[in-house]
Amino acid sequence: MQKNNRNKSVFYITRVACLSAIAIIVMFLEFTLPIFPGFYKLDFSTFPIIIGTFAMGPIAGVTIQFIKDLVHLLVSNQSMGIGLMADFAIGSAYILSAGIIYKRLHTKKGALLGCIAGTFAATIVGAFFNYYVLIPLYVLLTPYSLEDIISMGTKVTGSIKDLKTLIMFATVPFNLLKFGVISLLTMLTYKKVSPFFKMIRKESK
C-alpha cells in the first residue's frame, strides 16, 4: 500500500513538472497585438495547464500555474512581478472554473461548459483585478503615471479616455480573446487528448 502511494505521488509530481516546463516555455513566446495596448502581452501558456487540469484536477492546474509564474518571475523579473501576479489570479480563475465543472462532468460537453465558464470567470476577475489592484499598483511602484497608461490605450483606440474605458475596451476584450482562443484549442484537441485524461485518472486511483 505504501509503495503504491509512493508511486502515485511520483506519477503526480512528474506530470505536474512536465506540464509546468511546457507552460514556462510557451509563456516565453508571448507577443503583443496592435489592437491592444503594449502592456497587454498575449501568450497561450494556459493551454497545457488546462490540459493538466482536466487530467489531474483543478488543484494540480493551479499548482502548475503557480510554478509557471514563479519561474517566470525569477528568470525575467518583469514589472516587479505585478503582471505575473495578475497572470496567476486571472489564470487561476479560468483553471478553477473549468476544472471544477469538468471534474463533475467528464465529457466533451463538460469540457466545453468548463471552458466557457472559465473564460467568463477570467474576464470578470481580470477586469476587477486590473481596475482595483494591478493598474493602481503599477502606478505606485513604477515611473508610469495613470495618464501614461491611459495614453497607451488611447493610441490604440480613441474610445479609451480613463481607467474605466481602458478596462472596458482593452482589458475585457483582451481576456475574452486570450481565453477564448485557449478554449478553442482545448476543444479542437479534446478528442486526441481525452484518452490521456482517462489514463491519468485511472492510474491516480
Q: Which of 8, 26, 99, 100 lies closest to 69 in space, CA to CA?
A: 26
Look at residue 36 and tell me if it is in a domain: no
Q: Measured between alpha carbons, how far is residue 40 from residues 36, 123, 131, 138, 166 in Å? A: 7, 14, 14, 13, 12
Q: Is the pTM of this model over 0.85?
A: yes
Q: What is the pLDDT of residue 201?
A: 58
Least confident span in 70-79, 99-108, 109-118, 151-160: 70-79
Look at residue 34 and tell me if it is in a domain: no
pLDDT (average), residues 63-75: 93
Helices (DSSP H) in the chain: which residue ranges? 2-27, 46-56, 58-76, 82-104, 108-129, 135-141, 146-156, 163-166, 172-204
pLDDT (average), residues 186-203: 74
Look at residue 114 and tell me if it is in a domain: yes
Asked whether the predicted pLDDT for residue 2 surpasses 80, the reply is no
Look at residue 35 and tell me if it is in a domain: no
Average pLDDT, the chain: 90
Q: What is the pLDDT of residue 197?
A: 62
Asked whether the predicted pLDDT for residue 20 surpasses 80, the reply is yes
Give the residue carrying C-alpha cell 485518472. Answer: 201
Give the residue carrying C-alpha cell 497585438. Answer: 33
Look at residue 56 and tell me if it is in a domain: yes
Each residue of 138-193: pLDDT tens digit?
A: 899 888 899 999 999 999 999 999 999 999 999 999 999 999 999 999 999 987 87
- Domain boundaries, position 198: 2-28+42-204
3-state secondary structure of 125: helix
**b/e code 4-24 from CB counts within 10 Å (16+ = b):** eeeeeeeebeebbeebbebbb
Ramachandran angles phi, psi of 115, nearest 5°: -65, -40
3-state secondary structure of 162: coil
Look at residue 102 and tell me if it is in a domain: yes
Task: State how many domains the chain has.
Answer: 1
CATH number of the domain that residue 118 is part of: 1.10.1760.20
Asked whether the predicted pLDDT for residue 76 surpasses 60, the reply is yes
**CA separation for the pair 198, 204 (Å, rounded):** 10
Residue 46: what residue type? T
